[in-house]
């Protein structure tokens, strides 16, 4: 569960009149079960939990602590040496971990509604939490361009810029008498599926579970519909030649071309390589890939644009069924998201393809 989902659940619970506790891992050293940026929401009135801060006895203790604080908005910082915990797995982890617990009441509804809107406004930025033990929680969202105006020492401003630029998990900073935790509010990536067949259905289901948004595009309403894609953020029924006019494609977009034929693939691919999409992948054989890429090169599409295409698409796992093919594609999407374009996941430049490699 990513932070936007956590914020959305918090807003919903607060609107219902339940208090909530947000538990965040803000610092670690050595080996720990929870990593910086892990978050867990503890809901009042028997509402359960969402997310995780690493599991095990420490997570159980954080749930207990959080529930004991739900009577009023407050902040608590807790630090543990993992090797000293009475855990059956003692010795596997031997570092230290620090948690931030913040409790909120209905007055925090506007805050979490704004944080939930990161997916829609696509402006990203950072979230700053003031580490003021025993006081009411204070959080501040900053968008790009707002960093210089904040009332923090230069060391904290520099850390804000670094987290915003890197999109990292977060960092705890102390300077000039201020203690803060800075976390990235990265814009959630969106997978755009061109084609709404069987493979696309499975991709849509899988990518939602690993925190991608989903947009589905096909020119057939009997395939591209809410019944087949219940979790899609948007379903576009349009001719593939005009579909891009109805979409916002940016550096957070992952384009997956799985249409029903070579002609449609070519139409989509020619438009896709001209965008700034984070990922472009196309299903099909090596021969089909070579043919389509050569046709686009003959049309004058620059080589550096064509070199961005992942084809054959997906991580090699010996996939045969539609479900397995979809899984291999989603594995590639996650790998590109987490490790970048240089991860070496079956992505070959045009020159290598021409060489038959």
Identify the pLDDT of residue 350.
Answer: 37
- Give the per-residue pLDDT at 321: 96
Strand 171-175 relative to strand 178-184, pairing: antiparallel
The full set of domain ranges for the chain reads 3-184, 190-354
Could you give the residue ranges of the DSSP H alpha helices within 27-121? Answer: 56-68, 109-116, 118-121
pLDDT in tens, 69-84: 999 999 999 999 886 5
pLDDT, tens digit (0-9, with 9 covering 90-100), for 308-357: 999 989 999 999 999 999 999 999 999 999 888 754 334 543 333 332 32
How many residues make up the chain in this entry? 357
Q: What is the pLDDT of residue 1?
A: 58
Contact 86, 57 (CB under 8 A): yes
Q: What is the pLDDT of residues 211-257, one digit of tens each?
A: 899 999 999 999 999 999 998 999 999 999 999 999 999 988 999 99
pLDDT of residue 354: 35
CB neighbourhood size of 80 (10 A): 17
Residue 113: count other Cβ atoms within 10 Å of its Cβ.
16
Q: Is the pTM of this model over 0.85?
A: no
Superfamily grouping for domain 190-354: NAD(P)-binding Rossmann-like Domain (3.40.50.720)
Query: Could you report the per-residue pLDDT of 73-117, keeping only the tens digit for each?
Result: 999 999 998 865 444 444 456 789 999 999 999 999 999 999 988
User: What torsion do the CA atoms of 214, 215, 218, 223 make, to the nearest 10 degrees?
Assistant: 50
Does 302 score more than 50 pLDDT?
yes
Residues 6+ away with beta carbon under 8 Å from 254: 189, 190, 191, 192, 212, 277, 278, 279, 281, 333, 336, 337
Contact 127, 146 (CB under 8 A): no
Q: Give tens-digit pLDDT for 30-52.
A: 989 899 999 999 999 888 999 99
Query: To the nearest whole number, what is the mean pLDDT of the chain?
Result: 89
């Amino acid at each position: 569960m990513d932070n936007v989902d956590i914020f959305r659940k918090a807003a919903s619970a607060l609107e219902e009149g339940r208090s909530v506790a947000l538990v965040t891992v803000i610092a670690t050293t050595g080996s720990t079960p929870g990593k910086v940026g892990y978050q867990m929401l503890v809901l009042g009135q028997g509402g359960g939990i969402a997310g995780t801060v690493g599991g095990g006895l420490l997570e159980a203790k954080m749930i207990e602590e959080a529930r004991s604080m739900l009577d009023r908005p407050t902040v608590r910082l807790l630090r543990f040496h993992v090797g000293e915990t009475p855990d059956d797995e003692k010795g596997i982890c031997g570092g230290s971990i620090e948690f931030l617990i913040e409790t909120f009441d209905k007055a925090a509804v506007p805050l979490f509604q704004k944080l939930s809107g990161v997916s829609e406004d696509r402006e990203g930025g950072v979230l700053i939490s003031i580490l003021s033990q025993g006081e009411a929680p204070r959080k501040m969202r900053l968008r790009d361009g707002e960093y210089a105006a904040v009332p923090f020492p230069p060391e904290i401003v520099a850390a804000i810029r670094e987290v915003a630029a890197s999109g990292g998990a977060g960092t705890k900073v102390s300077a000039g008498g201020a203690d803060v935790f800075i976390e990235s509010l990265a814009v959630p990536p969106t997978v755009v599926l061109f084609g709404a067949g069987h493979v696309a259905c499975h991709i849509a289901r899988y990518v939602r579970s690993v925190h991608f948004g989903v947009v589905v595009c096909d020119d057939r309403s009997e395939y591209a519909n809410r019944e087949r894609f219940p979790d899609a953020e948007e379903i576009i029924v349009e001719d593939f030649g005009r579909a891009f006019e109805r979409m916002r494609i940016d550096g957070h977009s992952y384009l997956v071309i799985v249409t029903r034929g070579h002609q449609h693939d070519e139409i989509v691919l020619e438009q896709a390589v001209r965008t700034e999409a984070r990922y472009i992948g196309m299903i099909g054989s090596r021969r089909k890939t070579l043919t389509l890429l050569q046709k686009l090169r003959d049309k004058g599409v620059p080589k550096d644009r064509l070199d961005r295409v992942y084809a054959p698409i997906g991580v090699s796992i010996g996939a045969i069924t539609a479900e397995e093919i979809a899984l291999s594609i989603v594995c590639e999407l996650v790998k590109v998201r987490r490790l970048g374009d240089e991860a070496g996941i079956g992505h070959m430049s045009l020159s290598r393809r021409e060489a038959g490699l």
